[in-house]
Chain A
């Protein structure tokens, strides 16, 4: 008989979760209330709906804690397959909202399967990596791991919701933690660097610059007789990469994608058109000053200048109404939660729990980094929500599910010796 795990629940994580959800709701309220009087039955108001979502997420928490730990490991594959099916089902039964077919409509309630697919994928990856036979350094197994990650992403992209698909890059973190060769990291990081450099300068200048650097290295190392062929090959690959990036950016990307990059890179200033969101969001945050304008006192928030403020741009409300101190507090809460979860993941004795924990940290981190980066104008516009904060039932439930499965797994450590 397994011991009760309730006592072993990591209450610090739960506290951080509650703080984020509670503060998030306060900001949703500020960003979406109008002249109406507060009525708990007024389902047309986002902040009222969110209150019900929060209440219902308690149900999810209870269920996740009630289920046996073994269940998650055993049924990971099945959950994954159901999740994939639900994603595919969208192409048949999905409801089109704002040009994206990401929703199942159940009467007035919409469900977004992609929010739940993250948890399912995390379970499946954990299951696969923790299998005794899996060796992450075998190309064959690497490909299978990539497939597990890529399938849901591939189903999500054509919805179209490339932002949510991007989140699946987060699974790189557990893979790397479990022993994936550092080469992938190096290649990934340098590709990203080259990509950005190519956009800022022209591909020709980037290639010339790298060639010069290589030449300098060669001159310095000439006594050790370096292999010229390797350098040449690298240069050719880089040249190919840079020019194809240039080509893809100019010919495959759509104009709106190009605009998003150009605005962040400072190559384009357009505060009325495509840059409007980012610009208004920065104005709202910037006008907050040290302590902000106070709850429900934000002029930008009240005026509705920031589009999608209660969903993806909720952080701008925090910035405007709570100022630097409030926004920094939220950043610290998130960083605190992530570090706590990372610590919990590291202390897991089973590989399954560890991989799952790492996946949770990775997913939450990517959401957090991309969302806040976008709202503060650091990275191009990518529409993904801020975990626990942004308005949206599916999102809140998805993150709650993701987090509390891990809390359950962690609490079960008392049974694993």
Chain B
């Protein structure tokens, strides 16, 4: 026993030590992480965010330097908070709140205390920075805008939120990220890649050189420059015309699907959402729930398309063989159907009409006839509706377009399931006449302006379209993406388009927009006057009609296709028609010859119209 004691003690000590080492080095991994934090400082080198150009190479967006005050909480030493707050012009309460937030995020990783100082603020603070240990200044870049237009297209950048930091390890507190528009959609291209430098530190937290001689360091990769399809001149002109109105204009190039202009009104200047101004300005815009300046009406506004939709029904009628271009239908101030002779109203025009004048005069009775024939061609209205819907949807209506815009909506093209549900089929039967409003683009049909513009482009191309898109070139390289470069064909054969295109041309010759004729441009178009309602004090009240217009030009080999939607602008030719032809003239000729027309649009405001429902007084509509 006496001989063995020391043997036992020595051996058990050895076992204890090896176990302890196993625990420290293998089992418990937190020490390795601590060591990393302890001894290696990671510095980031932020790349330049890519610039954005318009289709003509005009610079729209670039960068300006900005400076964030950052803090590493565990390196903080007691400091003169009063002086610090007065230099940065913040309250002590805010500082304490920011520091607590930073501590909660991580004691070791830098957090932003005050974001986006201007150059002057930075210059002043820089001299004093030595006094405040634990704080440092991180240079970043803010957006610098060379345009006052297209804020809805460009979007904006802002500090990345906590949820995203958790989801994507690339982003760190204080990093900037695209939040809307092109900035959001092409974030990965624009942002580039941060460079990383690892610095070996000693126990006094001093840098003693690059970690492993910079073996793991990376250089920043600058963001790519984007060229977007927008024509800044046209965009600016559209926004000018839309002043004091609400609605959207979407202008496409039919031969490519490129978006030439995307106007929503009311709008705001992009520079409002830059840097420290962003937060208060954004709040202001966000809480304007009446005018909704942040709501992109061109992309997200879902309206009944109204009469422009008649062109689609005409095409489907021809494709389904239920009507010929020559066949005429009479109209006695409307179409009468059912046992009770329900009237489906129309306006005064000569009668009977064939397809071309039918479109030109926008005869409701003509399209009621055509539509009912389409549905009734099949045994059941269910079958008929679904065939009809398939044709409609081939024009990009009723679903997302699959474009590269950060916002959008599906619109709505009803199917048999929908009517079965609302009519409680099979308990009650429903007939084609139940859906008769579809014939003139009212009722259950909804579409966004960009869908209407795309539909118009498909007609202009006589049967196909390219998915509308905003990106033209990345770093000078034209896009190759198939979804934008491959045409999508509608279910309508090419030969059926001619009578409809002729009808749209006649709109300007003898129809609803004949007074908007432009001298040497063969514009084709279709007016729309859309009934709409709002709930005012719990009562469904009809408001002044929306003014809608779709158009393309020239008739052959079209260069431009568009949809204009003016909320409560009354009949189609009144506002939307005027604006559409002006935009076409601007794009094709470069200048406006019809000054009187332009003056009319610029001098007319719809603000009074918009104020009516909120006035609390009875009002008249459609004046």
Which A residues contact B (CB, under 8 angstroms)? 173, 176-177, 179, 185, 280, 282-290, 297, 299-300, 302-305, 319-320, 323-324, 327-328, 331-332, 334-335, 338-339, 342, 346, 358, 361-362, 365, 368-369, 372-373, 376-378
Q: In the assembled complex, which residues on chain B have CB atoms less than 8 Å from the CB atom of A284?
A: 35
B32-A376 in contact (CB<8A) = no
Q: In the assembled complex, which residues on chain B have CB atoms less than 8 Å from the CB atom of A331?
A: 14, 17-18, 21
Q: Is the interface of B mostly helix, strand, loop or mixed?
A: helix
**In the assembled complex, B211 has its CB within 8 A of some CB on chain A:** yes
B31-A283 in contact (CB<8A) = yes
Residue of A nearest to B40 (CB): A299
Q: In the assembled complex, which residues on chain A have CB atoms less than 8 Å from the CB atom of B3?
A: 177, 346
B14-A283 in contact (CB<8A) = no
* Selected contact of B17 from candidates A173, A177, A376, CB within 8 Å: A376
A365-B13 in contact (CB<8A) = yes
B202-A305 in contact (CB<8A) = yes
A282-B31 in contact (CB<8A) = yes
**In the assembled complex, B163 has its CB within 8 A of some CB on chain A:** no
Q: A373 to B13, alpha carbons, bound, how many Å?
A: 9
Q: How far is the CB of B620 from chain A (nearest CB, A)?
A: 78
A299-B2 in contact (CB<8A) = no
* Selected contact of A378 from candidates B14, B20, B211, CB within 8 Å: B20
A286-B11 in contact (CB<8A) = no
Q: In the assembled complex, which residues on chain B have CB atoms less than 8 Å from the CB atom of A376?
A: 17, 20-21, 24
Most buried by A among B21, B202, B212: B21
* Selected contact of B18 from candidates A328, A368, A369, A378, CB within 8 Å: A328
B25-A177 in contact (CB<8A) = no
- Place the interface of chain B in its size category: 35 or more
**In the assembled complex, B200 has its CB within 8 A of some CB on chain A:** yes
Most buried by B among A185, A280, A304, A319: A304
Q: A299 to B38, alpha carbons, bound, how many Å?
A: 9
Residue of A nearest to B1 (CB): A182
Q: In the assembled complex, which residues on chain A have CB atoms less than 8 Å from the CB atom of B212?
A: 297
A335-B11 in contact (CB<8A) = yes
Residue of B nearest to A179 (CB): B2
A285-B31 contact given A176-B5, A319-B21, CB 8 Å threshold: yes
**In the assembled complex, B421 has its CB within 8 A of some CB on chain A:** no
A304-B24 contact given A283-B31, A365-B9, CB 8 Å threshold: no
Q: List 9 A-B contacts (CB under 8 A).
A: A173-B6, A286-B31, A302-B39, A303-B202, A304-B203, A324-B21, A332-B14, A335-B13, A376-B17
Residue of A nearest to B201 (CB): A303
A285-B6 contact given A300-B38, A303-B39, CB 8 Å threshold: no
A303-B25 contact given A286-B30, A346-B3, A378-B16, CB 8 Å threshold: no
* Selected contact of A303 from candidates B6, B13, B30, B203, CB within 8 Å: B203
Q: A185 to B9, alpha carbons, bound, how many Å?
A: 13
B451-471 contacts to A, CB under 8 A, are none
Q: A300 to B24, alpha carbons, bound, how many Å?
A: 15
Q: How far is the CB of B278 from chain A (nearest CB, A)?
A: 40
Q: In the assembled complex, which residues on chain B have CB atoms less than 8 Å from the CB atom of A339?
A: 7, 10-11
A303-B38 contact given A177-B2, A179-B2, A342-B10, CB 8 Å threshold: yes
B34-A299 in contact (CB<8A) = no
A335-B10 contact given A286-B28, A289-B25, CB 8 Å threshold: yes
* Selected contact of A324 from candidates B10, B22, B203, CB within 8 Å: B22
Q: In the assembled complex, which residues on chain A have CB atoms less than 8 Å from the CB atom of B535?
A: none
Q: A290 to B35, alpha carbons, bound, how many Å?
A: 15
A287-B26 contact given A303-B39, A358-B6, CB 8 Å threshold: no
B1-60 contacts to A, CB under 8 A, are 2-3, 5-7, 9-11, 13-14, 16-18, 20-22, 24-26, 28, 30-32, 34-36, 38-40
Q: How far is the CB of A317 from chain B (nearest CB, A)?
A: 13
Q: A338 to B6, alpha carbons, bound, how many Å?
A: 10
A328-B21 in contact (CB<8A) = yes
B13-A369 in contact (CB<8A) = yes
Q: A285 to B6, alpha carbons, bound, how many Å?
A: 28
Q: A319 to B25, alpha carbons, bound, how many Å?
A: 8
B6-A335 in contact (CB<8A) = no
Q: A171 to B498, alpha carbons, bound, how many Å?
A: 113
Q: In the assembled complex, which residues on chain B have CB atoms less than 8 Å from the CB atom of A305?
A: 38-39, 202-203
* Selected contact of B26 from candidates A283, A304, A324, CB within 8 Å: A324
A286-B39 in contact (CB<8A) = no
**In the assembled complex, B104 has its CB within 8 A of some CB on chain A:** no
Q: How far is the CB of B387 from chain A (nearest CB, A)?
A: 68
Q: In the assembled complex, which residues on chain A have CB atoms less than 8 Å from the CB atom of B5?
A: 173, 176-177, 185
Residue of A nearest to B24 (CB): A286
**In the assembled complex, B208 has its CB within 8 A of some CB on chain A:** yes
* Selected contact of A365 from candidates B6, B24, B36, CB within 8 Å: B6
Q: A289 to B28, alpha carbons, bound, how many Å?
A: 9
Q: In the assembled complex, which residues on chain B have CB atoms less than 8 Å from the CB atom of A304?
A: 202-203
Q: A332 to B14, alpha carbons, bound, how many Å?
A: 7
B202-A282 in contact (CB<8A) = no
Residue of A nearest to B16 (CB): A378
Q: A285-B31, A342-B6, A376-B17 are in contact. List 10 more A-B contacts (CB 8 A).
A: A176-B2, A286-B32, A300-B38, A338-B10, A365-B9, A365-B10, A368-B13, A369-B13, A372-B17, A376-B20
A177-B16 contact given A287-B31, A303-B202, A319-B25, CB 8 Å threshold: no
Q: In the assembled complex, which residues on chain B have CB atoms less than 8 Å from the CB atom of A361?
A: 6, 10
B208-A303 in contact (CB<8A) = yes
Q: A376 to B5, alpha carbons, bound, how many Å?
A: 24
Most buried by B among A283, A304, A376: A283
Q: In the assembled complex, which residues on chain A have CB atoms less than 8 Å from the CB atom of B24?
A: 282, 285-286, 319, 376-377
A300-B39 in contact (CB<8A) = yes
Residue of B nearest to A376 (CB): B20
Q: How far is the CB of A124 from chain B (nearest CB, A)?
A: 21
A335-B203 in contact (CB<8A) = no
Q: In the assembled complex, which residues on chain A have CB atoms less than 8 Å from the CB atom of B201?
A: 303
Q: A358 to B7, alpha carbons, bound, how many Å?
A: 11
Q: In the assembled complex, which residues on chain B have CB atoms less than 8 Å from the CB atom of A334?
A: 14
* Selected contact of B25 from candidates A280, A288, A335, A377, CB within 8 Å: A288
Q: A283 to B34, alpha carbons, bound, how many Å?
A: 7
Q: A287 to B6, alpha carbons, bound, how many Å?
A: 33
B34-A287 in contact (CB<8A) = yes
Q: In the assembled complex, which residues on chain B have CB atoms less than 8 Å from the CB atom of A285?
A: 21, 24-25, 31
A283-B38 in contact (CB<8A) = yes
Q: In the assembled complex, which residues on chain B have CB atoms less than 8 Å from the CB atom of A286?
A: 24-25, 28, 30-32, 34-35
Q: In the assembled complex, which residues on chain A have CB atoms less than 8 Å from the CB atom of B9?
A: 365
Q: A300 to B208, alpha carbons, bound, how many Å?
A: 12
B25-A290 in contact (CB<8A) = yes
Q: In the assembled complex, which residues on chain A have CB atoms less than 8 Å from the CB atom of B22?
A: 324
Residue of A nearest to B13 (CB): A369
Q: A320 to B31, alpha carbons, bound, how many Å?
A: 11
B6-A362 in contact (CB<8A) = yes
Most buried by A among B16, B22, B25: B25
Q: How far is the CB of B621 from chain A (nearest CB, A)?
A: 75
Q: A20 to B31, alpha carbons, bound, how many Å?
A: 27
A342-B25 in contact (CB<8A) = no
Residue of A nearest to B31 (CB): A286
Residue of B nearest to A286 (CB): B31
Q: A285 to B5, alpha carbons, bound, how many Å?
A: 30
B21-A335 in contact (CB<8A) = no
Q: In the assembled complex, which residues on chain A have CB atoms less than 8 Å from the CB atom of B17?
A: 331, 372-373, 376
A324-B211 in contact (CB<8A) = no
B6-A302 in contact (CB<8A) = no
